[in-house]
Structure 1
Amino acid sequence: MSISVLGAGAFGTAMAVTLSQNGPVTLWARDAEHVQAMRENGENARRLPGVKLPQNVTVSAEIADALQAETLLLAMPMQKMTGFLDTHSDTLAGKTLVSCSKGIDLSTGQGPTALIRAKVPGARAAVLTGPSFAGDIARGLPTALTLACADHSEELQAELSTPTLRLYRTTDTTGAELGGALKNVYAIAAGTVIGAGLGDSARAALMTRGFAEMLRIATELGARPETLSGLSGFGDLVLTCTSAQSRNFRLGHAIGAGEAFDPSITVEGAATAQALNKLAHTRGLEIPVAAMVMALTEQSISVDEAMQALLARPLKEE
């Protein structure tokens, strides 16, 4: 097995830790000072404090070290992926590139696997997604994820599974990546509901209508409905809409409560809301909840105004 994880955020670090049960793993970070701190402390105190890095996890700031592996997990923000693929397209050709990003590229409207195929045609594109928090994976708590790859690879499924990380495979890469991306938008909405003190009943209604929007746009873009009903769609939606461990939920909670939010924290749902509304507009789809999320994150509408806009929509059949 030859695996590197590109990106030393919380999730990338957690995947390096759990995959080290199967063999040596290289964990790459672009910040040399961050790498040095991880080597000295034996943990990623900046992103995943309290989790020790096993001895067979090699931390490096040299991209050449990481690119020697045949299977590369791209654990980087979605909006950074285009630049990375462009810069290293020649070296990445022929490798298996597994995106761990949950989002839609703002400049192209593409998900990660489509972006990989466009930028590195010679690579094998896959996506790893589903309901998970980095801390749970790193501490060996039972977690199930979706691995989507066009060739339905049992070999890759086995390579990325561990005794506590169970992967279910699918060939529906579109559905898997859209489920992972879109649920972040509705997690912001759910956090806003709770932060504003609107209650759990309102959150349940929001999640249900949000899931209907997810199905509407994902199937329009070619996803299979059953994929959205699985781990990468409904499962991930439930997790991120109900836990303060979710960065998207925390952003929404801050918006609802009228509190400041740390701008250094990557929250994919804000950018995804913009991309989602562009897609919906071009295809004539109604996604009122996602539209309110975009307006809230852009600070062009207040929480009260968003709530009133949604409640004032015409009554209709479910």
Structure 2
Amino acid sequence: MRLAFMGTPEFAVPSLDALVAAGHEVVAVYTQPPRPANRGKKLTPSAVQTRAEELGLPVHSPLTLRSAEAQAEFAALKLDVAIVAAYGLILPQAILDAPTHGCLNVHGSLLPRWRGAAPVQRAILAGDRTTGVMVMQMEAGLDTGPVRATTEVEIGTKTTGELTAELAELGAELMVIVLQDMAAHPAVAQPEEGVTYAAKIDKAETRIDFAVSAQIIERQIRAFNPAPGAWFEYEDERYRILEAQVIPAQPQICSKVLDDLLTIACGTDSIRPTLIQRAGKPAMPTTDLLRGKAIPQGTILL
């Protein structure tokens, strides 16, 4: 098929690679413009732009698709279909209608659960047992379009980084299957019940509140790994917990350090960090960190 690909983060790269490998004619790649990144705030191209340029594909980075000029340029591509994966711009109706078969989206949840910006993180935070990836026929509403294909996976103890990578690969495979025979994968309307929204992660959510249960905190740690990280403060310094174990415990003062392994009392049970990152330092096993920076038993953490 003659298509355009629209995506920005690493999640979208496997879909772009799969479409090229399957022999589709990718005539344009749309992605977000380069953004300031890292400490130097140097303008850095998106993961999709980097990969598209490696593949020799033309890249477009409009600030908006609402202008008549951008819509005319898109329509002039005379596409069979547009494939969208975490692009980051709202597609106006003129864009949705331009390709012969419309726009298909790779979405990392089991719609209608977790429509919106952060479906993987929200599924982990909520303690969902499963999630998945879907190929959806896009329409004007937020992830409201009918679904053409679904793959479901167990969440288990996966982090957002691990689960996102898995869903990206599965979504790429699913999209190729759908494009091979769209008639065999008709668009089926989403059920009206079970709708939830995956709001963007607010920075305030990433600070650990040890008054809640250790189980909730463990999910928070996995949901915010690799970024932005769930954290606490000690001596005015921020510590990001990247991995942790739930340890059964008798009631204690919440946020109290219970032993020399940095086991921390919570509202229910306790949490023991196993991989931790001090501000400005690399991540390391907690035992290694404590050899260089002790956090004594009995300390009350913020």
TM-score (norm: length of structure 1): 0.37
Choose between structure 1 and 2: higher strand proportion.
2
Larger radius of gyration: 2
TM-score (norm: length of structure 2): 0.38
- Bigger relative contact order, structure 1 or 2, given CA contacts below 8 A and separation 6+? 1
